[in-house]
Structure 1
Amino acid sequence: MESQADTGLFVFLVIRHKKTTIFTDAKESSTVWELKRIIEGIMKRPPEEQLLFKDNQLLDEMKTLRECGFTFQVARPETPATVGLAFRTGDVFEGLEIHP
């Protein structure tokens, strides 16, 4: 029998930046840094220029999505979890902004 870590359970995420919405999935065992690489492929902004948030709390890029509370139980295809995204502009990061 495989453990949860070995099964590669996926979480489903909605990444929000101002009026932009990205739907993606990733393994629970992926790090926040790896999620930033996925965003880089879509938004063409390197991970160093990104901050990611869950419930207005900055996510540690060295932690796994599971460690940040994104599990397959709470981030399902029909109810994806929301991740806030802010970018660096010049030398400073913009504030977190999510518009409907």
Structure 2
Amino acid sequence: MIRPHKTTIFAYAKESSTLFELKRIVKGIFKWPSDEQPLYKDDQLLDDGQTLGECGFTSQMARPQAPATVGLAFRADEALESSKALGAGGTFKVERLLSLHP
């Protein structure tokens, strides 16, 4: 599911899907260019070429009742605002959350 502010949109991806493919889903919904969508897991920037499974997003840890969460950073008004996965430490403002169910 994709959660911009208080809206929830469900999106499904397989463990074999790459992060770039996930970014294409986000681009289709929000019209943000893929190269302006840094994705994070536990405060670590993820590589577009990795699969969801390689990043640790597996069907064992991402379920419909408890989807996995990816932090999504985005540019708004020339300022970079970042979000982090729920439960992750840091001083980042949560603006966008991207949750997956592989």
For the criterion TM > 0.5, the same-fold answer is yes
Separation of aligned partners in 1, 2:77 and 2:22: 22
2:43 aligned residue (56, 74, 84):
56
Give RMSD over aligned pairs.
Answer: 2.1
User: In the alignment, which residue of structure 2 is the partner of 1:11?
Assistant: none
Q: 1:56 to 1:95 in 2, by over 3 A?
A: same
Query: Are 2:21 and 1:34 equivalent residues in the alignment?
Result: yes
Query: Is 1:85 equivalent to 2:85 in the alignment?
Result: no
Give the superposition deviation at 1:37. Answer: 0.3
Taking structure 2 as the reference length, what is the TM-score of the superposition?
A: 0.70
Q: Is the 8 A contact 1:15 1:85 kept in 2?
A: no
1:98 match: 94
Q: How far did residue 95 of structure 1 move?
A: 2.9
Deviations 1:7-48 (A, max 9, x none): xxxxxxx44555555432101000000000000011110101
Counting helix residues as a fraction of each chain, which structure ranks higher? 1
The residue aligned with 2:57 is 70
Shift of 1:88: 3.0
Percent of aligned pairs with the same residue?
Answer: 60
Instruction: Give CA-to-partner distance per residue, 1:48-90, whole Å, 9 cap, x none.
Output: 1111111221111110000000000001111100111111347
**Is there any run of 5+ residues in structure 2 with no aligned partner, and where?**
84-92, 96-102
The offset of 1:94, in angstroms, is 2.9
Structure 1 stretches lacking a partner, 5+ long: 1-13
1:39 aligned partner, one-letter code: V
Q: TM-score, normalised by structure 1?
A: 0.71
Give the counterpart letter for 1:74 in structure 2: M
